Amino acid sequence: MKMSELRLEYLDPAELAANPANWRRHPPSQVAALKVVLAEVGWAGALLFNERTGRLIDGHARREITKPGERVPVLIGSWSEEAERKILATLDPLSAMASADQEKLLTLLEDTRFNSEAVNAMLEALANGERYPIPELGEMPFLSDADKSDIGQMTFTVTEAQRGTIEAAISMAKGQGASQETGNENSNGNALALVCETFTKNA
């Protein structure tokens, strides 16, 4: 079987379609840490794009944080639908199978410091064989004040009957285009905000 040849191009990630089968979820803390690293060292890797299907395989988080109009490195290949699914399923799990040589990592970190103490703490936890916990939004030291002003979490308690009513209202709001502004069809926050906005206008 002939292997797909790869080529490197610099493209605007906004022009690369996200993969609907992408199973990775990137918590705000991870995205914020990624911003810190990119800001300090720049691009040291590339997105992976399948030109045969017209879909991104790897780099969805980096795609989302790229500034409008910015051109970034993209590795482009041509794979079948089946091969694309295999790459999508195994790329991260295979990388995660690697174990850390804690002694080497600790030596590396002695002279390697990021401006973000949270990123430093994350690396030190890894070097010490600890799992770095994903913090709650309010505890995220990765986030700048500007980032925090754009993101928020709300927690409240409801009965099962109330939950059904809320979910029905969110579903109806999505049907009215509540999430069109951000392009995120799964944005419950946008839909709930529209429900509340409609209520306050009619109150």
Question: 75, 96, 117 — which closes off a domain?
Answer: 96
pLDDT interval class at 81 (50, 70, 90): very high
pLDDT interval class at 203 (50, 70, 90): low
Same domain, 40 and 84: yes
Flag whether pLDDT at 99 surpasses 70: yes
Cα(131)–Cα(191) distance, integer angstroms: 35
Domain encompassing residue 142: 102-150
Distances from the Cα of 47 to the Cα of 3, 63, 83, 140, angstroms = 19, 8, 17, 26
Residue 153: name the closest of 189, 202, 106 by CA: 189
Same domain, 141 and 179: no
Question: How is residue 34 annotated by DSSP?
Answer: H
Same domain, 87 and 133: no
Q: What is the mean pLDDT of residues 97-118?
A: 80
- Percentage of the chain modeled with pLDDT above 90: 21
Same domain, 166 and 146: no
176 φψ region: left (φ > 0), alpha (ψ -120 to 50), beta (else): alpha
User: 2 in a domain, yes or no?
Assistant: no
Flag whether pLDDT at 178 surpasses 50: no
pLDDT tens profile 112-126? 888 877 778 777 877
pLDDT interval class at 201 (50, 70, 90): low
Query: Per mean pLDDT, which of 72-86, 113-127, 130-144 is the most reliable?
Result: 72-86
Q: What is the dihedral of CA 188, 32, 19, 167, to 10 degrees?
A: -10
Same domain, 70 and 44: yes
Same domain, 16 and 91: yes
Question: 128, 150, 172 — which closes off a domain?
Answer: 150
Q: What is the mean pLDDT of residues 182-197?
A: 57
pLDDT interval class at 68 (50, 70, 90): confident
User: 103 vs 198, which has greater pLDDT?
Assistant: 103
User: 84 in a domain, yes or no?
Assistant: yes
Q: What is the mean pLDDT of residues 179-202?
A: 57
Distances from the Cα of 99 to the Cα of 8, 94, 113, 127, angstroms = 29, 11, 22, 11
What pTM does this model have? 0.58
